[in-house]
Structure 1
Amino acid sequence: GKGVFWLPHIWGTEGIAWRTDAFTPAGEFPSYYDVWDEANAGKTMGRGHSMLLGLGLGLEGRGEMDAGSMWAAYETPEKMDEVWSKLVDIAISKKPNIKLIWNDADAQKNGLLNEGVIVGQTWDGPPIALKSAGEPVMYRAPKEGAMAWVDGMSMPTGAKNIDQIYAFIEAAYDAKLAGEAIKTHGYNSPVIGAAEFGGDVYAQNFADAYPGEALANLNAWPAEAPWYSEKRSEFTNKFLAA
């Protein structure tokens, strides 16, 4: 067919990581709000813009913000102003509770290992790597639903090695090869059956990260209009500068 095509290749999430020797979730699932809770003050971390979204989802779950507010904020600039103005005011009031603002994988690992962080909103990869190495760290989708991302493949305009591209795609979608790749890159595969070839460590980590209804509750990062990205940066900078 004609048109632009995109194929999902790997996926992962942003959720909650914690030190198993220093923090215990209230139930089977942690909450985004655990990062902001007074009970954990001075021992938490997150990434600027996404921890604000997490706070909003946590507040919705606690009945302190209207249900659906955070997703409604993606619809219009006016709605975003309404929701995020309130959200950032709350975040600024709770900012002293946050120990570390991270920007990359190493900062997440260092926070959990060396900086006294006991619970944080993180990507899945860094804490799971620590867990696999035997550190007292757990990663799990929070009760509000982990934020899911998908990286994929498209063919560049003007590509000349078309046969090789399709050969690569066929290899990438072979369940056994996709499962072998899991052992190296550590992400999840959208290929049906790939997990069966991912090994026992991957299987255990996946089960720990997404028990029960966790997969059904995943939140895909919504598409962002240009105005949304710009406004989010303004609100995030206001929080970070406070």
Structure 2
Amino acid sequence: MDVLDQLGAVKEGKMSRRAFTRSLMAAGVGMATVPLSKMAHASDGDQATYFTWGGYDIPELFGEYQTKNGALPNFAIFGASEEALTKMRGGFVVDVSHPCNQAVPRWAATGLFQSVDVSRLAHGADIIPELTQLEGNQDGDNLWMVPFDWGSTSITYRTDLVELDGEESWDMLWDERYSGRLGSLGAGADAWWVGAIKAGISFDNIDSDEAFEKIAEIMRAQRPHIRVYTDDTTSLEQALASGELVAAMTWNSSAVTLAAEGVPVKFANPKEGALTWVCGLMIHKDAPNVDRAYDVIDSLLSVESGKFMVNDYGYGHSNKNTFDHFDEETLVGLGLSKNPTDILGSGHFQKPQTQEWESKMNALFEQIKAGF
């Protein structure tokens, strides 16, 4: 099947964007040459635009939307939530965006978003109640962010290449034995918080001057050992598959993807606790397609999308009915539970911070990545 045939297969929902990406990379073709954000059928301007992380711009999550509207939504991709917010502050208008819990109060405070009337959602009554009760997420009876996916940030490591010293630990990503063969997500929204866990900093005190100094010291100590910082999870997965990397900070999905391909990997359960999070969906105040924005959210909340999220990405889903399709053994094997508080409560759950903190953290982390 050539590239044009594969493009058609993706447009028709017969081939996933992830599979298409891997096919292109195997052929030496960069994704930048084939912008899938313009692949919706017919009148792109009539479809909602979904601003999201890479990997969520796939037909498997939009069967319900496509059935109702005759096309996929338009997609725009970001690598980090701060990047997304900065772009929208600069005038980039979308219908739906995809932040995570620690960003919600800060995003809402910008005035760029309208809260979501959950009663308008066909699947609104099926949302796991605990996931709606996030700090700063309530706007009367509405929600600023409709929860969609939840999970952990931890270490995906090659079980055949890494020799553990006792229990699984975040120390694995600071291990001098594997210097130059370790990788990390490139955004401070993950890496800085992991540095706090490694430094023994409580998230209740992560905004203190003392915390900044301790975390910066920890991150600088790690820097010489990291081969790559990137927001492209596919790059981390490929490097782990080839053995170029032996361990990397990733989300659940990387371990699930690699294991399905026969790569001997494990998603670690660090003795210090994993970083845990809930992400979801917000509607822009100037959304040009509000009705279809609600269709985007409903499609992502559907059980069919949820089954894909759990089975293919290893993420938790916000629709309680999704879990009826999985037995407990399968969920435990993925590091999940039918009760999200079991997982979120067992790790370190991110807490909202001010814009000043976010800007300071990102600036300092970028300096550290650059070697300063």
Aligning the two structures, in what range does the TM-score lie when normalised by the shorter sequence? 0.7 to 0.9
Check 1:57–1:177 CA distance in 2 against 1; reply closer, same or farther (3 A cut).
closer
- Which residue is 1:126 aligned to? 254
Is contact 2:277-2:344 (8 Å) kept?
Answer: no
- Which residue is 2:178 aligned to? 40
**Higher RCO, 1 vs 2 (CA within 8 Å, ≥6 residues apart):** 1
Question: Please, which moves more after superposition, 179-188 or 121-130?
Answer: 179-188
**Deviation sequence 1:23-51 (CA, Å, 0-9, x none):** 144445x2222101223323211124233
- What's the CA shift for 1:146? 1.9
Distance 1:91 1:180 in 2: 35
- Which residue is 1:220 aligned to? 349
Check 1:196–1:231 CA distance in 2 against 1; reply closer, same or farther (3 A cut).
same
Match of 2:199 among 51, 59, 65: 59
- 2:137 is the counterpart of 1:4: no
Is contact 1:180-1:197 (8 Å) kept?
Answer: no
Distance 1:228 1:176 in 2: 38
- 2:266 is the counterpart of 1:138: yes
Matched ranges for 1:221-236 at <5 A: 221-236=350-365
Check 1:178–1:106 CA distance in 2 against 1; reply closer, same or farther (3 A cut).
closer
**CA RMSD across the alignment:** 3.5
- Amino acid in structure 1 at the alignment position of 2:206: A
Distance 2:290 2:366 in 1: 44
- 2:235 is the counterpart of 1:107: yes
- Which residue is 1:64 aligned to? none
- What's the CA shift for 1:88? 1.8
- Which residue is 1:63 aligned to? none
Is contact 2:256-2:312 (8 Å) kept?
Answer: no
Match of 2:366 among 233, 237, 241: 237
Is contact 2:252-2:314 (8 Å) kept?
Answer: no
- Amino acid in structure 1 at the alignment position of 2:258: L
- Amino acid in structure 2 at the alignment position of 1:40: Y
Distance 1:188 1:234 in 2: 31
- 2:161 is the counterpart of 1:22: yes
- Amino acid in structure 1 at the alignment position of 2:270: P
- TM-score, with normalisation over the residues of structure 2? 0.51
Check 1:197–1:26 CA distance in 2 against 1; reply closer, same or farther (3 A cut).
farther
Q: Identity rate of aligned residues, in percent? A: 19
Determine helix, strand or coil for the equivalent of 2:183: strand
- Amino acid in structure 1 at the alignment position of 2:345: A
Check 1:220–1:93 CA distance in 2 against 1; reply closer, same or farther (3 A cut).
closer
- TM-score, with normalisation over the residues of structure 1? 0.74
Check 1:126–1:178 CA distance in 2 against 1; reply closer, same or farther (3 A cut).
closer
Distance 1:121 1:130 in 2: 14
- Amino acid in structure 1 at the alignment position of 2:333: A
- What's the CA shift for 1:131? 0.9
Is contact 2:152-2:251 (8 Å) kept?
Answer: yes
Distance 2:161 2:221 in 1: 25
Distance 1:177 1:102 in 2: 27
Determine helix, strand or coil for the equivalent of 1:209: coil
Distance 2:290 2:228 in 1: 47
After TM superposition, which residue ranges in structure 1, 4 or more long, deviate above 3 angstroms? 1-4, 24-28, 153-162, 171-186, 203-206, 208-211, 213-216
Determine helix, strand or coil for the equivalent of 1:8: strand
- Amino acid in structure 2 at the alignment position of 1:95: R
Is contact 2:276-2:344 (8 Å) kept?
Answer: no
Q: Which runs of 5+ in 1 are unaligned?
A: 61-66
Is contact 1:175-1:197 (8 Å) kept?
Answer: no
- What's the CA shift for 1:128? 1.6
Q: Which runs of 5+ in 2 are unaligned?
A: 1-116, 118-139
